[in-house]
A and B are shown apart, each in its own frame.
Chain A
Amino acid sequence: MTRVMLALPSKGAIAEPTLAFLQECGLRVEKPNPRQYVGIMPAVPTVDVLFQRVIDVQYKVADGTAKLGITGLDVVQEYHQEDVVIIHDDLHYGYCKLVVAVPEAWIDVENMVDLAEVALDFREMKNRQLRVATTYPHKTRQFLHTHGIHHFTLVNAEGAIEAAPTIGYADIIVDLVQTGTTLRENHLKPLADGVIIESQACLIGNRTALAKSPEILETTRILLEQIDAALQGRNFSQMTVNICGKDASDIAQKVALNPLTRGLQGPTIAPIYGSKTENDLEWFTITIIVPNKSLLSAVEYLREIGGTQMTVSPVRCIFLERSPSFARLQAALFPD
């Protein structure tokens, strides 16, 4: 069996969340020696884990050292690599935005149109260009151009970019923002229409390797099955409820009347033995899957139709007839 190297971020904002996410998907990663950059995934023995810097993950995937990787969508878009295919771009963690931010004192600047005008003012009145500090030069350049800002100098900086306007080596910044606290603390404000990338963690793969090797593709499918099922499962809860009624079909009818309590296919109903009442009614236990956001509405409806003793437990996985992400990957790899 071909072994598949999966590159994961070793440090940075999405390193820990990635391990937590994989664990939630039933894909726990074990790192036998904390000082080494390798690990294993007991649930999928064909996978070897390689820890890399967030930025390097995609380079390892692009050059084929790793066949799969998890990293931020922002870096994938910034350092676009020909042979990298985005397998799953909605892993629901590691959220951040790449935004244009200006000093708070610029009370006249609220949007990109204002900024375009300020860039012109710099040029016409100060005879110099607007200086933009960023570690994302490509996306920044593109974004500024599409907003009519053509006269600017990019100041490449590593880390502590938020301080650049205060220190004075740049006028504005383009940086990743999670909560905005760091910006505020450095007296900067993001521009509302200045969001360049809305990023989160994503799973990427080496296009050639996936297209050529059925074994690598199979390992990828196993990972995606787990990931899709876990992401699906997050949104739902399993409920059991006891209801008294004439017979199973009578109860089924009542429960199914409300789309909320119909479950994914329909209610599962089981009789509770020895629970017949004097007026020939019987108790049943109903099991349904309910979207989390409608849980309380479901509870209230079930009460209305006589339900009681309701239990709710989280759904860890929902496997559909096949993994939707894997279907998308196949379509991307083999267009015919």
Chain B
Amino acid sequence: MAVTSVSTDRRSVIDQLETLLQQNGFVLLDTPIIQPADLFLTRAGDQIADHLFTFERSGEQLALRPEFTSSAIKQYLDEFPVANAIKRWLFSGVVFEDYAQAGEYQKYSIGLELLGAATPESEAEIIGLAAQAMRFLGVTDWFIEIGHVGLTRHLLSRFGIEGRVQQILLNRASDSSETNAQLQLLLDKLTIHDADLSRLDTADQEDSRKHLQIFQMMFANQEMSSVAGGRSRQEILQRFAKKQQRTLERDKFQDVIDFLNKWSQFREIALGAFEKLAKFVDAADDVGQGNLKQWQEMIRELEQKGVPLEKLIVRPALARNWDYYTGVVFEICSESGKRLVGGGRYDDFARLIGANRDVPAVGLAFYIDELMPLLP
């Protein structure tokens, strides 16, 4: 566990980075290391849920912080309960994830949050600052990949398939380890396939009789508001109908998969990429065109900030956490594929933890332990 080893180098790098970021207007704040687990679980990021370091005290489920964003947004909502204000916050400290198998529990992370600003400029500010930090630290081996979750989601929605299936296909598109056969099996499970239908037929007499009874019971007894397991008759039937609807949409799934395959292979160097990207977006699609335009603006902004364009790679389906990013996402990687910085826009986040309004938010995290070996 690298963090526990005494390293003056690391301390000095952290100090330098903190200073640079503070000079750029970010205020260094602390967040509690121990928080109610719900705060992090609520964040739709299911990848976290798997590895969250949780424990129980006095009946409450607690967790060691896996990141700073959840606490930051919570604090922001406490400070600005009604309307948004622009805030630049900086966090620095260890974060925890439970990878018991690898014996890895804590990492050092420096996080930036730019809250209350929805413009492409705010995105360029964050990404530009990350690039500036690379130069400042003397790291030469790096490039930036920039994607767009908002645009990806929007293009997917135009296929008109149900939201959950969309989400699942999107998650699977970034998981290259899965074979087509596995994907098809999953899609089968999402729909009502022959095996289920035959249950209602005669294939298995007892099963089908039972099914029929339950069906009749559910339709006949209008009074019955709740059945076992905390779901009402209506909820069950609604979801059953949704599954049937999906079964009818099954043909469209393949179109979506084909689109996602092409979309996730797209990877081009900066501005030139937009001409090609435009082919994916219908001219009459205002939302899509708007996304593209803002995205392009953001990249121009980066250029003006002196980020070398040859280090900027446009990769629309860049897979970060699909569950909570809403717009531009980015990663700075080394040529050897190590992730040094990652971040993006997550305007829904405040709603995810219970707010009744959007809080425009863009942020990043520096992965200090990955950065260290690349320093001169």
Contact = CB atoms under 8 A, between A and B. Distances in A.
A171 B230 contact: yes
A292 B92 CA distance: 69
Majority secondary structure, A binding face: mixed
A126 B211 CA distance: 26
B240 A107 contact: yes
Given A104-B210, A108-B236, A165 B190 contact: no
B323 to A, nearest CB: 10
Given A110-B196, A150-B50, A151-B41, A121 B235 contact: yes
A102 B229 contact: yes
Interface of B: 41, 46, 49-50, 164, 186, 189-190, 196, 210-211, 214-215, 217-218, 227-231, 233, 235-237, 239-240, 242-243
Main secondary structure on chain B at its contact with chain A?
helix
Interface in A114-153: 114, 117-118, 120-122, 125-126, 131, 145, 148, 150-151
The list of the 10 closest CB pairs from A to B, nearest first, reads: A150-B49, A103-B228, A113-B189, A103-B229, A108-B240, A171-B229, A108-B239, A105-B227, A165-B229, A165-B228
Contacts of A145: 49-50
Contacts of B215: 107
A113 B187 CA distance: 9
B209 to A, nearest CB: 12
Given A103-B231, A117-B164, A168-B230, 7 more contacts: A105-B228, A107-B211, A107-B236, A117-B190, A125-B235, A148-B46, A151-B49
Contacts of A294: none
Contacts, number: 75
Given A110-B196, A151-B41, A105 B164 contact: no
Contact of B214 (A104, A121, A151, A171): A104
A131 B240 contact: no
A182 B227 CA distance: 19
Most buried by A among B50, B215, B217, B233: B50
Contacts of A120: 164
18 contacts: A103-B231, A105-B229, A105-B231, A106-B229, A106-B231, A107-B215, A107-B240, A108-B239, A108-B242, A111-B189, A112-B189, A113-B186, A113-B190, A117-B190, A145-B49, A145-B50, A150-B46, A151-B41
Range for the number of chain A residues in contact with chain B: 20 to 34
A121 B196 CA distance: 22
Interface in A216-254: none
B339 to A, nearest CB: 23
Contacts of A131: 230
A220 to B, nearest CB: 30
A166 interface: yes
Contacts of B240: 107-108
Contact of B231 (A113, A166, A170, A171): A171
Given A105-B214, A145-B50, A150 B41 contact: yes
Contacts of B46: 148, 150
Contacts of A31: none
Nearest to B211: A107
A121 B239 contact: yes
B237 to A, nearest CB: 8
B228 A187 contact: yes
B130 to A, nearest CB: 29
A126 B214 CA distance: 23
Given A131-B230, A166-B228, A171-B231, A108 B243 contact: yes
B66 to A, nearest CB: 13
A141 to B, nearest CB: 10
A172 interface: yes
B41 A106 contact: no
Contacts of B190: 113-114, 117
Nearest to A151: B41
A170 B164 CA distance: 25
A323 B231 CA distance: 54
Interface string A160-180: 000001101011100000000
B54 to A, nearest CB: 10
